[in-house]
Chain A
Amino acid sequence: MFWTNTKRVLVSGFQNFFRNGFVTLSSILIMTITLFIICSLILLGGFFNYSLNQIKEKVDINVYFVTNADESNILTVQKSLEALPEVDSITYVSRDQALNDFKDKHKGDELTLQALDELGDNPLGASLNIKAKDPSQYAGIAEFLKGNTLLSKNGTSIIDKVNYAQNKVVIDKFTNIVGSANALGITLAIIFVLISIIITLNTIRLTIFMAKDEIAVMRLVGASSKYIKGPFIVSGILCGIISAIIIILSFAVVTFWINNSYSLYFSGFNIFDYYISNFVWIFFAIFGLAIALGAVASYLAAHRYLRE
């Protein structure tokens, strides 16, 4: 009897879905809007992270060494820095490289280049360019460098200067901005998702409210609560699945179109690539949420009218 009843509930759910044209359409519409908001937030989150990473890339600190520092000592410092978990990458710029870079930078500036030639010796020291995994970790790295005890031939520290102090204000400000932007983004996303879920729950409740008399008749005929709720839940799940299909397909088309037509506004962020490379989890998240929303909303609404 279990399979017979399951089959009957499924058939009845499909019938409700197709025969309640207007009610089904309005449920699908509201669920589609909810999923649209959620999917948009996912993509915006991707874009936001991409932009933050781009900016993070530009934040670094440089360690300048004295001109008479041994390369082997500098490489020792580099190695000890690389061992730190906070450090993402380190680029070593040798004295010769620094000189070449300087010359390249001042290609048209004859006066500066002449002054450099008059000095005879290379006045530039080697340097290490350090990128941390997170902007908040630069303070720790600077502190580590302060404690470095390697000395040059004349007994002074091989580290000439660390530009953390100059960059500190900017780095701190940026760290704060990243922190609050993340918090704000997450809060806004949660609020939007909650509002849209509440609207969906209420819409489905209203559609089942329209079937209140029907529920009363089913009870009078002797239907059990499970038998009454079942078809409503099936219809709710079907509405969720259709809405999820609409959103998944339309976002594929829309992100492709946006990427081709408005890529300039995204400063290098390929929204279509992001959508495709994250497709599996977005697909399951959207479908899972849609099915859960449809089922839970229908269950709660039917349950409420059955209790009366």
Chain B
Amino acid sequence: MIVFDKITKVYPDGEVALNEVTVTIEPKEFVSIVGHSGAGKTTFLKMLLAEEKPTSGDVFFESISVHKLKKHEIHHFRRKVGTVFQDFRLLPNKTVYENVAFAMEVAGRHDDEIALDVPHVLELVNLSKKALSFPRELSGGEKQRVAIARAIVNQPDIIIADEPTGNLDPINTHEIIQILKKINDLGTTVILTTHNKGVIDSLGKRVISMDSGKIVRDDPTGRYVL
């Protein structure tokens, strides 16, 4: 379970990115977060990833207070969270296989486990034939599928997808959303931020709407309403 308890984030220039946000996300949920640019969606995710510290409030993952983790504990926590971004964030000098294997290596997995799991995950996202390609040789949709493969290979508890379809055409968007749904069906919590109304409406899952750093709607089977 993830709990945001009265999280406020004020940047040094006085901008209030999050304003007393309180929300609970249950295990195995698929939650979409929608809102205009600057509504606070990305800051919300950064709080969960411990990339930024809140000005006040706490974020709990299970019983752990995320922002009270020591520096050397943070990378252990991040291994429980898979991340997918709009700009893919792949390692440019590693092949598709190596990008996915990297996530397993840093988690301290053995070589034989890596040799077994990586091809399996690549098959799941339909990229087995591109295993030896570098990110620059892939299309946008393929890059995003590599990012998903990397995010799920350690079987994390949560997948955070920050506008994963922002740079993709409708066909690739559909594919990526189907993969995320499949991951959620297998029992992983998925938190998705997006501007894509069609995606939200087709999902029929919980939608949290944000505006000016506050949660303005929280519908259990919502639609894209702003």
Contacts and interface: CB of A to CB of B under 8 A. Distances in A.
B93 A220 contact: no
A218 interface: yes
Interface in B104-155: 105-108, 110-111, 150, 154
Interface stretch (A54-62, A79-87, A221-229): A221-229
A137 interface: no
A303 interface: no
A6 interface: no
Given A15-B93, A15-B94, A214-B92, A220 B110 contact: no
B91 interface: yes
Interface residues of B, number: 25
A15 B93 CA distance: 8
Nearest to B51: A220
Interface SS majority for chain A? helix
Interface in A183-225: 213-214, 216-225
Contacts of A8: 105
A290 to B, nearest CB: 23
Nearest to A20: B93
Interface in B64-89: 72, 75-76, 78-79, 83, 89
Nearest to A7: B111
A1 B91 contact: no
Nearest to A15: B93
A217 B106 CA distance: 12
A222 B91 contact: no
B102 A221 contact: yes
Given A8-B105, A217-B90, A224 B75 contact: yes
Interface string A154-169: 0000000000000000
Contacts of B105: 8, 227
Contacts, number: 54
B93 A223 contact: no
A18 B1 CA distance: 44
Contacts of B94: 15
Contacts of B83: 220-221
B49 interface: yes
Given A4-B110, A4-B111, A8-B105, A222 B78 contact: yes
Contacts of A217: 89-91
A291 B69 CA distance: 36
Contact of A227 (B89, B106, B150): B106
Contact of A224 (B72, B98, B103, B111): B72
B91 A218 contact: yes
A198 B150 CA distance: 39
B111 A222 contact: no
With a 10 A CB-CB cut-off, give which of A20, A218, A222, A224 has the most chain B CB atoms: A222
B170 to A, nearest CB: 27
A217 B99 CA distance: 11
Interface string B150-179: 100010000000000000000000000000
Contacts of A223: 75, 102, 106
22 contacts: A4-B110, A5-B108, A8-B105, A15-B93, A15-B98, A19-B93, A20-B93, A214-B91, A214-B93, A216-B89, A217-B91, A218-B91, A219-B78, A220-B78, A221-B79, A221-B106, A222-B78, A222-B106, A222-B107, A223-B75, A223-B106, A224-B75
